[in-house]
Amino acid sequence: MACVKLGSKADAFQRQGQAWFCTTGLPSDLVVEVGEMSFHLHKFPLLSRSGVLFRLITEASESEEEEECVIHPPDIPGGAKTFELVAKFCYGVKLELTASNVVYLWCAAEHLEMTEEHGEGNLLSQAETFYNQVVLRSWKDSLRALQTCDDVLSHAEALHIVKRCIESLAAKASTDPNLFGWPVLERGGPMQSPGGSVLWNGISTGARPKNSSSDWWYEDVATLSLPLYKRLVAVMESRGIRQDIIAGSLAFYAKRYLPGLNRRHVSGESSTHLTPVTLGCPPSEDDQKILVEEIDRLLPMEKGLVQTKFLFGLLRTAMILRVSHSCMSNLEKRIGMQLDQATLEDLLMPTFSYSMETLYNVDCVQRILDHFLAMDQVTCAASPCSIDDGQLIASPSLTPITMVAKLIDGYLAEVAPDVNLKLPKFEALAAAVPEYARPLDDGLYRAIDIYLKSHPWLVESEREELCRLMDCQKLSLEACTHAAQNERLPIRTIVQVLFFEQLQLRTSIAGCFLVSDNLDGSRQLRSGMIPTNEGGWATAVKENQVLKVGMDNMRMRVSELEKECSNMRQEIEKLGRAKGGSNAWGTVSKKFGFKIKSQMCSAQEGSVSNQNNENSKAEKLKNRQVVKHKKNSSVSDKSSVSSIVPF
């Protein structure tokens, strides 16, 4: 820290309790009361330097008959500590003018009228010159001087000290430190010459320092009070500093003074990222509440400027501190804009209100999702996409909304065990996600199953209403297998699952046949000949055996499913006969909205016709002897599978 030495005399001041004495050998004839401190001094050194003290001493001397007069200078900036330095300056005692005391001395000198009219080289001109020529040229000194302005803010504002200091800091922060190298790197890096090379014992080494990142000033400005920090940010924005850099500084400042944000530290973050300094005494709840609202007001409303995890932490803190409704709404909108970047841990926000019964704040997540979907609609309008046969054609917004759908399904599975979570609230959150956003409904099925398990008192109609949220055609084979054996699902849903599972199995079987025939034909076309040796024949036989084993396993699975369907049909027919209806199965088929057997047969016939077409093409390319052998083995497998009837 730069300094200027004033005066040449040895220190002649001694403190005794709450009093200062000047030990020059002469008896004191003046007592200056500043706060609780008394200064026993002499009249002449003070009245010769200060216009205010001159008038006070003159008035006190005329009104008092005692040799030692007492004066009370009003509201000296900086209090007794600053007046001690002023008194030493008046006596010519050695004194150091630094960035830590220049603002106090400047304000006190202005207040006491220590101008050139009362002595050449007076304190006011000395302090002003040091501030302009030394302090403002250094980032570190400018920052230190601005920090001291809080104690004498009204006086510093009147002298434009705060404004000039903020403009100096903003100018240095908005300039690339790699362009000038110094004096920014004095923050802790190596000293440099004006040319930018590193200095060693004052000698230029020619080496260049490492590049500085754009967040080099975050930690320094975070030491400022909130009013001064706000003004500094405003000036930086007017100078054109990028919004993401400003947002990063705001996030750093918030983490420094909001203890709740540092409890959710992420170990995966880069080690080069600045870590907020832990304060010994955190601010009060009122101060934290004001800080959250100010951070929200200062943050630009743009996507991706700050991490989503930081926004969720800010929202949790806002809930605890009970900030204004507008602040809460803005934070929810900010999160909604980048919900696709969130994690499941972020969404699991506890309920901090006694009026809500649920363990997690589902209503807040619902509002955040609504904001995201509104933004997604705007994006889709800017880049329209079309939907054909229930399939969404690729668009720039498909990936984010798919990620959000997966995130919401995971969130539903986490909150589903809460017995206080009402069915309408669960359904509203699940139904808010568009159908095209879910490529598969496995995640939604898992959440529904957990909810049904945790809420066994739901009636059949409520279970059916809940299961209508998922599309049985979009369940994977594993999910279908689980659902077919799930006793918690309503009968209607199980029948639909079994129906579509059989369709998937038949489609898979037909596809296996087609792929097998195509591979055989293409392999022979590439080889240009039919394998006639023993090695080629053995390979063909082995492949045929592997395919046959796969078909047998598939046939066994289909047989098991048919047995389950048959048992279910018998149970439904018994129920129908008990009610006096002879056509119970037909009635159930109409109720479920499809004809199971006819669709099964049509699917079977289509697969067989496709297989026959492929066989006719392959026969033209194969040798009669080998084709006859492979055809017999293939036809036997196909005929055995095609003979399967679902009901």
Name the pairing type of β-strands 19-22 and 37-41: parallel
Question: What is the pLDDT, as a whole number, of residue 573?
Answer: 80
Q: Rounded distance, CA 274 to CA 276, Å? A: 6
Our count of domains for the chain comes to: 1
Report the range out of 62-71, 271-280, 400-409 with the highest average pLDDT. 400-409
Average pLDDT score over residue span 601-615: 42
Q: Which one-letter amino acid corresponds to residue 572?
A: I
Percent of the chain clearing pLDDT 70 (strictly above): 70
Q: Mean pLDDT score of the chain, rounded to an integer? A: 77
Question: What is the pLDDT, as a whole number, of residue 5?
Answer: 84
Burial of 233 (0-12, 13-18, 19+ CB in 10 A): buried
Question: What is the pLDDT, as a whole number, of residue 599?
Answer: 38
Name the pairing type of β-strands 387-388 and 3-6: unpaired
Joined together, the tokens standing for residue 40 give 């026993």
Report the range out of 9-13, 175-179, 467-471, 612-616 with the highest average pLDDT. 467-471
Task: Write out the DSSP string of 44-55.
Answer: HHHHTT-HHHHH
Q: Is the pLDDT of residue 395 over 50?
A: no
Average pLDDT score over residue span 6-13: 78
Residue linked to tokens 């159930």: 588
What confidence tens digit (pLDDT) does each residue in 35-60 have?
889 998 988 889 889 999 999 988 88
Question: What is the pLDDT, as a whole number, of residue 74?
Answer: 86
- Beta-bridge partner residues of 360: 350
What confidence tens digit (pLDDT) does each residue in 196-245 have?
555 555 565 555 454 467 788 999 999 999 999 999 999 999 998 999 99
Cα end-to-end distance, the chain, whole Å: 91
Query: Could you give the C-alpha distances from 111 to 80, 92, 160, in angstroms and in order?
Result: 14, 20, 14
**Non-local CB neighbours of 455 within 8 Å, separated by 6+ positions:** 419, 423
pLDDT band at 544 (very low <50, low <70, confident <90, very high): low
Residue at 51 is within a domain:
yes
Q: Rounded distance, CA 490 to CA 487, Å? A: 8
Q: Is the pLDDT of residue 488 over 80?
A: yes
Residue at 560 is within a domain:
no
Report the range out of 114-123, 178-187, 324-333, 563-572 with the highest average pLDDT. 324-333
Q: Rounded distance, CA 332 to CA 370, Å? A: 10
The answer to which of 307-321, 519-533, 616-630 has the lowest mean pLDDT is 616-630
pLDDT band at 142 (very low <50, low <70, confident <90, very high): very high
Phi-psi region of 349 (alpha: psi -120 to 50; beta: other; left: phi over 0): beta
Burial of 544 (0-12, 13-18, 19+ CB in 10 A): middle
Q: Is the pLDDT of residue 276 over 70?
A: no
pLDDT band at 399 (very low <50, low <70, confident <90, very high): confident
**Non-local CB neighbours of 366 within 8 Å, separated by 6+ positions:** 425, 428, 429, 432
Residue 436 gets which letter from DSSP? Answer: G
Q: Is the pLDDT of residue 609 over 80?
A: no
CA 318 to chain CA centroid, Å, is 15
Q: Rounded distance, CA 574 to CA 420, Å? A: 38
Sign for the pseudo-dihedral over CA of 81, 83, 89, 93: negative
pTM metric for this prediction: 0.71
* Cβ–Cβ < 8 Å for 643, 607: no
Burial of 387 (0-12, 13-18, 19+ CB in 10 A): exposed
Q: Rounded distance, CA 553 to CA 563, Å? A: 16
Q: Is the pLDDT of residue 105 over 70?
A: yes
Q: Which residue has the higher pLDDT, 587 or 318?
A: 318
Q: Is the pLDDT of residue 622 over 60?
A: no
Residue at 457 is within a domain:
no
**Non-local CB neighbours of 54 within 8 Å, separated by 6+ positions:** 46, 47, 48, 118
Q: Rounded distance, CA 19 to CA 447, Å? A: 76
Residue at 499 is within a domain:
no
Question: What is the pLDDT, as a whole number, of residue 542?
Answer: 67
Residue at 182 is within a domain:
no
Q: Which domain holds residue 163?
A: 3-176
Joined together, the tokens standing for residue 292 give 């959250």
* Cβ–Cβ < 8 Å for 427, 433: no
Average pLDDT score over residue span 396-405: 80
Percent of the chain clearing pLDDT 90 (strictly above): 43
Using DSSP, state whether 576 is helix, strand or coil.
helix
Residue at 389 is within a domain:
no
Residue 78 belongs to a domain with what CATH number?
3.30.710.10
Residue at 75 is within a domain:
yes
Residue at 606 is within a domain:
no
Q: Residue 87, Cβ neighbours under 10 Å: how many? A: 21
**Non-local CB neighbours of 467 within 8 Å, separated by 6+ positions:** 448, 489, 490, 492, 493
**How big is the chain by its Cα radius of gyration, in Å?**
42
Please give the biggest Cα pair distance in the chain: 141
Q: Which residue has the higher pLDDT, 11 or 306?
A: 306
pLDDT band at 486 (very low <50, low <70, confident <90, very high): confident
Question: What is the pLDDT, as a whole number, of residue 152?
Answer: 93
Q: Which residue has the higher pLDDT, 353 or 133?
A: 133
Question: What is the pLDDT, as a whole number, of residue 472?
Answer: 85
Q: Is the pLDDT of residue 584 over 80?
A: no
The answer to which of 44-53, 169-178, 250-259, 529-538 has the lowest mean pLDDT is 529-538
Nearest partner of 607 among 510, 503, 508, judged by Cα? 510
Q: Rounded distance, CA 600 to CA 25, Å? A: 119
Q: Which residue has the higher pLDDT, 455 or 545?
A: 455
Q: Is the pLDDT of residue 606 over 90?
A: no
Element (H, E) at 252: helix 243-257
Question: What is the pLDDT, as a whole number, of residue 453?
Answer: 93
Q: Is the pLDDT of residue 405 over 80?
A: yes
* Cβ–Cβ < 8 Å for 104, 80: no
Question: What is the pLDDT, as a whole number, of residue 590?
Answer: 44
